[in-house]
Amino acid sequence: MTRRRLILLLLCLFIAISFLGGSAIWSVLGLADDLDIDGTAETVRAAPDHLGNGWDAYGGDGFGNRYSRAADITPDNVQDLEVAWSFQTGALEGRSEAALRRAAFETTPILVEDSLVFCTQFHEVIALDPATGAEKWRYDAAVPTDGKPANQFTCRGVSYWKDSKQAAATPCSTRILMGTVDSRLIALDAKTGRKCTGFGEEGEVHIKSSVPLRWPGEFQITSAPAIIGDTVVTGSAIGDNLRTRAPLGTVHAFDIRTGRLKWTFDPIPRDVDDPARASWAGNSADEAGHANVWSTIAVDEERGLVFLPTSSASPDYYGGDRVGDNLYANSVVALNGETGEVAWHFQTVHHDLWDYDLPAQPGLFEVWRDSKAHDVVAQVTKTGLVFVLDRDTGKPFLPIEERPVPQGGAEGETLSPTQPFPVNTPPVVPSRLDPADAFGITLWDKMACAGQIRALRKEGLFTPPSEQGTLAYPFTGGGANWGSTAYDPTRNLLVVNMSNIASFVRLTKQTGMENQADSITDGAEFAPMEDAPYTMQRGPLLSPLGLPCVPPPWGVIAGVDLSSGEIVWRKTIGTTQDLAPGGLALPLGTPNFGGPVITGSGLVFIGAAMDNYLRAFDVETGAELWKGRLPAGGQATPMTYEYGGKQYVVIAAGGHSSSGTKQGDHIIAYALPD
What value, to the nearest 5°, has the Cα angle with vertex 128 and ends 122 and 132?
135
* Of residues 160, 148, 65, the one with CA closest to residue 111: 160
307 by DSSP, 3-state: which? strand
Question: In sequence order, what E strands does 430-492 have?
Answer: 470-472, 485-488
Give the C-alpha separation, 281 to 266, whole Å: 17
Give the C-alpha separation, 657 to 106, whole Å: 11
Note the Cα 374 to chain centre separation in Å: 25
363 by DSSP, 3-state: which? strand
100 by DSSP, 3-state: which? helix
Strand partners for 432 = none
* Pairing of the two strands 67-68 and 596-599: parallel
Q: Residue 277: which residues within 8 A CB-CB, separation 6 or more?
A: 269, 270, 271, 285
Catalytic residue numbers, as ranges: 355
User: What is the rounded (10 degree) CA torsion for 583, 585, 591, 597?
Assistant: 120
Q: Residue 241: which residues within 8 A CB-CB, separation 6 or more?
A: 314, 315, 316, 317, 520, 524, 527, 528, 529, 536
Give the C-alpha separation, 641 to 323, whole Å: 49
277 by DSSP, 3-state: which? helix
Assess contact for 116 and 108: CB atoms under 8 A.
no
CB burial readout 148-167, b (16+ within 10 A) else e: ebbbbbbbbbbbbbeeeeee
Give the C-alpha separation, 21 to 534, whole Å: 47
Residue 53's Cβ-side half-sphere holds a number of Cα atoms within 13 Å equal to 5
> What values do phi and psi take at 302, rounded to 5?
-60, -40
Give the C-alpha separation, 376 to 365, whole Å: 5
* Of residues 540, 548, 585, 541, the one with CA closest to residue 440: 548
265 by DSSP, 3-state: which? strand
In angstroms, what CA-CA distances link 342 with 237, 305, 374, 438? 21, 9, 22, 45
